[in-house]
Amino acid sequence: MKTETVLLVDGDLLVFRCAAACQLEVEWSPGVWSYALDHDAVLDRVASKVAFWEKELEADRSIFAFTDPEANFRRDVLPDYKASRVGVKKPLGYLQCVQRVMDQYPHRILPTLEADDCLGIMQTNVKEGRRSIIVTADKDMRGVPGLYCDMLAHPLHAEEISELEADRFWMEQALIGDQVDNYKGCPGIGKVKARRALADAESLKEMWDTVVEQYGNAGLTEEDALVQARVARILRTDDYQNGEVILWDPTTLTSTASS
């Protein structure tokens, strides 16, 4: 049986970039300006990108992932999550562009989840005869095991991320935090220190013990670390069952487990 290759496309990012690229400034009369956006031009640009990626990565089809615009489960874990993004202006007609793309392409949007989580769930839902590649420019998707392609790379290539590598990236994020998404991580820990601290860990249990130790050194608790880890984790298929998010529980770890 031929293996089918499916691209799992970060729809949020692709539509945002295409809409921003197609947005025009129009001077209707001297000194009178407005923005304009041709949705058909956006859709053409999306189609061109997807066709190129499918050709370069030898894929059979693509599935888009989008964020639920109504709710986000991470705000139940950390109320200030992404608070710094409130009021950030999206390209003109962005939500209408998203809807038109969803009308034309297979897609996944799940209650309370971000596009990243939909991608992570699909990527880790392994199906016989299917090979999937996440296509995005979001570094956070390195926290999901499987094939990853940076949509901005030239030339395009699919990089294999092991489960241990994905867990290490996730635990690094739990230490570093993310200013854009407004979760703080561990005080005094940057990228270099986080990588150094986790470099020799050979299982997720060892990584988590290191994370808890670093938070303790900063005068914080394991519960503080857990909030950051839960916010930083991109969901995988076992984290979402029957329409409900199952928050990561470190008490299930064993010394030999990698996830």
Q: Is residue 191 part of a domain?
A: yes
71 has a pLDDT exceeding 70: yes
- Based on the fold, state whether residues 42 and 84 are members of the same structural domain: yes
Q: Which of 129, 161, 193 is the last residue of a domain?
A: 161
- Based on the fold, state whether residues 244 and 145 are members of the same structural domain: no
- Based on the fold, state whether residues 196 and 207 are members of the same structural domain: yes
Radius of gyration of the CA atoms of the chain, in A:
20
* Domain that includes residue 78, residue range: 4-27+35-161
- Based on the fold, state whether residues 171 and 151 are members of the same structural domain: no
Q: Is residue 242 part of a domain?
A: yes
Q: Which of 93, 126, 161 is the last residue of a domain?
A: 161
- Based on the fold, state whether residues 111 and 133 are members of the same structural domain: yes
pLDDT tens readout for residues 17-58 = 999 999 988 888 888 888 888 999 999 999 999 999 999 999
Give the mean pLDDT of 76-89.
84
CATH of residue 237's domain is 1.10.150
Task: For residues 108 and 99, give the distance between their C-alpha atoms in angstroms, rounded to a whole number.
Answer: 12
User: What is the pLDDT at residue 259?
Assistant: 46
**For a pLDDT cut of 90, what percent of the chain falls above it?**
83
CATH of residue 67's domain is 3.40.50.1010
pLDDT tens readout for residues 155-189 = 999 999 999 999 999 999 999 999 989 999 999 99
Residue 80 contacts by C-beta under 8 Å, 6 or more apart in sequence?
Answer: 182, 183
Q: Is residue 220 part of a domain?
A: yes
Q: Is residue 259 part of a domain?
A: no
pLDDT tens readout for residues 197-254 = 999 999 999 999 999 999 999 999 999 999 999 999 999 999 999 989 999 999 998 7
Task: Give every strand in the sheet of 146-150, ordered side by side.
Answer: 107-108, 61-65, 4-10, 130-136, 146-150, 159-161
Q: Is residue 241 part of a domain?
A: yes
Q: How confident is the model at residue 258 (pLDDT cuts 50, 70, 90)?
A: very low
Q: How confident is the model at residue 84 (pLDDT cuts 50, 70, 90)?
A: confident
- Based on the fold, state whether residues 157 and 177 are members of the same structural domain: no
Q: Is residue 258 part of a domain?
A: no
- Based on the fold, state whether residues 16 and 74 are members of the same structural domain: yes
As for how many domains the chain has, the answer is 2
Q: How confident is the model at residue 65 (pLDDT cuts 50, 70, 90)?
A: very high
Q: Is residue 222 part of a domain?
A: yes
Provide the 3-class DSSP secondary structure of residue 148. strand
User: What is the pLDDT at residue 257?
Assistant: 45
Task: For residues 23 and 50, give the distance between their C-alpha atoms in angstroms, rounded to a whole number.
Answer: 20
pLDDT tens readout for residues 94-104 = 999 999 999 99
User: What is the pLDDT at residue 181?
Assistant: 92
- Based on the fold, state whether residues 22 and 125 are members of the same structural domain: yes
- Based on the fold, state whether residues 110 and 132 are members of the same structural domain: yes
Q: Is residue 257 part of a domain?
A: no
